[in-house]
Amino acid sequence: MVAAGQDGLVANLAKYLRGQLVLGINPDAEQFDGVLVPHPQRSGPLLQAMAGGRAEVEERTMVTARLDDGESLLALNEIFVGHRSHQSARYRLRLGTKEERQSSSGLIVATGTGATGWARSINGERARPLSLPKPTDPALALFVREPFPSVSTGTSLDGTIVDGRSEVEVLSEMDDGGVVFGDGIEDDRPDFAWGDAPAARGRRAEARARPRLASRSVPMTGVPW
């Protein structure tokens, strides 16, 4: 597969593929950074090498968000969990044995590829920046955006690196407006509100690298691309 355009095109294409190679072509190096589209327009020899199985291939970690009702999302850069408007998102965040109720502008779980985009911007504003994973590392970076401290909500779990053996779980406490989406594609999203089913009081999402996120639980997992 050939993706010619800005970097986001590769991210949005990759999630729909299963094992096919992607070649990113940068049609305008003065306009696009080329992080995911590093190759020039004249890449005929590389295309031939791909077709002949001779091209050098880099496998990158992706993040998967799985809800407790079976819905799932796959992203190359990051998964966002929060409120669809500018309202605060309310949820419980679990990291291993630690748990905290939070009110924030949402959270993102980013791969090493995403570490060059949104996660990089968030990390750069931190007093104690994280050492972000590389694109091929089986790890994810978790960032909580603007957590608000109150008598019922905390801010201690505001960011960490999640390795491939760990799990992040998010349990929604939003009556409505909660969403989960990947790579900035807001239209392709499952709702993330309190569920009606007894087994899903909060919908669950998991993220793994293979890490996981959960609420409506959302698990997120890093998987090779």
Listing DSSP states for 70-81 in one string gives S-EEEESSEEEE
Residue 225: enclosing H or E segment and its boundaries?
none
Distances (CA, A) of 2 to 21, 123, 185: 8, 31, 20
**Parallel, antiparallel, or unpaired for β 23-25 and 2-4?**
parallel
SS3 of 154, please?
coil
Per-residue confidence band for 187, with pLDDT thresholds at 50, 70 and 90: confident
Segments of 12-153 assigned E as strands = 23-25, 61-66, 72-75, 78-83, 89-95, 98-104, 107-110, 139-144
pLDDT in tens, 1-31: 888 888 888 888 877 877 788 888 888 888 8
- Kindly report the pTM of this predicted structure: 0.82
Per-residue confidence band for 200, with pLDDT thresholds at 50, 70 and 90: very low
Q: Identify the pLDDT of residue 130.
A: 95
Report cis status (omega within 30 of 0) of the bond before 90: no
Q: Does residue 203 carry a pLDDT above 60?
A: no
CATH architecture designation of domain 59-224: Sandwich (2.60)
Per-residue confidence band for 191, with pLDDT thresholds at 50, 70 and 90: confident
Contact 132, 119 (CB under 8 A): yes
Q: Does residue 128 carry a pLDDT above 60?
A: yes
Supply 183's token pair.
């790579």
pLDDT in tens, 36-95: 888 888 888 888 888 888 888 888 888 888 887 778 888 889 999 999 888 899 999 988
Phi-psi region of 177 (alpha: psi -120 to 50; beta: other; left: phi over 0): left
Top pLDDT among 70 and 133 is at: 133
Q: What single-letter amino acid sits at 95? A: L
Over the chain, what is the mean pLDDT?
80
Q: Which of 64, 213, 211 is nearest to 139 (CA)?
A: 211
Domain ranges of the chain: 1-57, 59-224
Per mean pLDDT, which range of 44-48, 152-156, 168-172, 200-204 is the poorest? 200-204
Q: Does residue 129 carry a pLDDT above 80?
A: yes
The DSSP 8-state label assigned to residue 18 in this structure reads S
As a whole-number percent, the residues of the chain with pLDDT over 90 amount to 29
Q: Does residue 219 carry a pLDDT above 60?
A: no
Q: Does residue 168 carry a pLDDT above 50?
A: yes
Q: Identify the pLDDT of residue 194.
A: 65
Contact 204, 194 (CB under 8 A): no
Residue 74 phi, psi dihedral angles, 5° rounding: -125, 135
Decide: residue 49, CB within 10 A, 0-12 exposed, 13-18 middle, 19+ buried.
middle
